[in-house]
Amino acid sequence: MKIQQLHSWQVSIAQAQEIQRRLAAQVSKTSEVASPRFIAGTDISSPNIYGVATGAVVLLRLPELTITEIQVAAQELDFPYMPGLLSFREAPLILAACQKLSIDPDLLVVDGQGIAHPRRLGLASHLGLLLDMPTIGCAKSLLWGRHQPVEAQRGSFAPLRAGEEVIGAALRTKATAKPVYVSIGHKVNLEAAVYWIVQCCRGYRLPEPTRLAHLAAAGQLKLPRENQAEQGYQQQLFS
């Protein structure tokens, strides 16, 4: 996967915030997702005692959501943990894993915020710009904005607002579970983002791309045996 070099990663907190403000203006809210064949999810593990974390990307084939490829990367997290600046901490590790993919996904689902962010550039939007691909933010917790109660039925959602601006949706993906927070990452609109998250849920609160990426980052997911030969062939073909 080709990564655009939009800025340095060796920045101060103030510089990181300014980069977010600048890049937010480049986020596309127009959907470029038509009939995706491959969807990927990303996540990272908590750092170990040495400060090293593992980033994972899991590639799934649509519409079956069968696992096609799993890639991981491990490295030290250099940027401090700060809400609102997680992309400067996590993105380099996720990009390292994404670079190993032999097939580029048509759509990327990120365990984090898109434009539902105080400066409208969360991890999903940041990755979308760096990878120049459609991305969706699907976060487990609320970072920014407010919403009305969400009805109990699966697929129900309430607009997430910052003032009068709609910045995402609180989406009920499972009747007995808390909602997740969906927002535009890049090159999708909110309607498409909500649609694809619902399509990717298989009885869990989290959509399969990020649920499986979480397991892969923790070392708890391996590629099914029947797909191992295919991944090895793809890596040789595209290397």
Q: What is the tens place of the pLDDT at every residue in 61-109?
A: 999 999 999 999 999 998 999 999 999 999 999 999 999 999 999 999 9
Distance separating alpha carbons of residues 146 and 162, to the nearest angstrom: 7
Q: Is the pTM of this model over 0.85?
A: yes
* Helices and strands (H, E) in the chain, number of each type: 6, 8
Residue 237 has pLDDT above 50, yes or no: no
Tell whether the model's pLDDT for residue 239 goes beyond 50. no
User: What tens digit of pLDDT does each residue of 103-134 get?
Assistant: 999 999 999 999 999 999 999 999 999 999 99
H helices of the chain, in order, are: 13-24, 86-98, 123-131, 190-199, 208-217, 225-238
C-alpha 23: how far from chain center: 17
Average pLDDT over residues 45-52: 92
Strands 107-110 and 135-139 turn out to be parallel
110 beta partners: 42, 137
- C-alpha distances in Å from residue 70, one per residue of 142, 155, 215, 216: 28, 28, 11, 8
Contact (Cβ atoms closer than 8 angstroms) between residue 27 and residue 121: yes
**What tokens appear for 53 in the block?**
């974390």
Domains along the chain? 35-227 (3.30.2170.10)
